[in-house]
Amino acid sequence: MTKKISTHIGIGKIQNAARISESPRHMQQDRYSILDEKDAVDFLAQNFSETIDNKNKSTTQDPSDEGEGQLSIDVYQNDHEITIISAIAGVLKTELQITITDETLTIKGERQMPIDLKNQQAINQECFWGKFTRHIVLPNNVNPEGIKAVWKKNILIITIPKTNTDKTKIIKIT
């Protein structure tokens, strides 16, 4: 006897199905997916991403930047600052543009292929070449005036200080 189990996430985005053979001697499970792992990860990242302090905001790629790659980042925080780290191989620091408006930090650049491969066919291609844009939505308590960007061995390190989060003010009675 075979029992079919199907799981659907989204509207046709990811469909996993599993057949479980119910045999007293052994339990067998075959899994298959109509999408590869990268598509599944991309779907989950686009639909379930979270930011530092606000689950309703996300670090996203601008829809107007369609066709551009997205820069990988790590974001850390403590009580005093937020640190954003990104390895950006193949780009000079002078070719990067970092802007901050309202609560969004944007990193733009272009990763150019170092050699001409016009007459060669790719067998495996994991590196992204071309323009990239990354938007990082920041929490409300940052001080954009104190932002610092450092370039070390093709790694971009951005430090953004947080504003004083202590909103308690003692008022002297006169």
Instruction: Render pLDDT for 61-110 as a digit per residue (tens, 0 to 9).
Output: 444 444 567 789 999 999 999 999 999 988 989 999 999 987 899 999 99
- Paired sense of beta strands 130-137 and 104-111, if any: antiparallel
Q: Give the pLDDT of residue 151.
A: 95
Q: What is the CATH number of domain 51-114+128-166?
A: 2.60.40.790
Reported as type and span, the H/E element at residue 85 is: strand 81-87
pLDDT at 134: 93
* Residue 171 confidence (pLDDT): 79
| Two structure tokens written together for 58 | 């996300």
pLDDT in tens, 101-121: 878 999 999 988 888 888 999
- What is the pLDDT, as a whole number, of residue 100? 92
Q: Where are the domains of the chain?
A: 1-48, 51-114+128-166
Pick the CATH number of 1-48 from 3.30.1300, 3.40.1580, 1.25.40, 2.60.40: 3.30.1300
Task: List beta partners, residue 135.
Answer: 60, 106
Q: What is the pTM of this model?
A: 0.56
For all residues of the chain together, what is the average pLDDT? 71
pLDDT at residue 37 tops 80: no
User: CA–CA distance from 66 to each of 24, 60, 78, 96, 157 (Å)?
Assistant: 52, 12, 33, 19, 26
DSSP labels, 26-57: -EEEEEEESS-HHHHHHHHHHHH---SS-TT-
Residues 6 or more apart whose CB falls under 8 angstroms from that of 130 comprise 68, 69, 110, 111
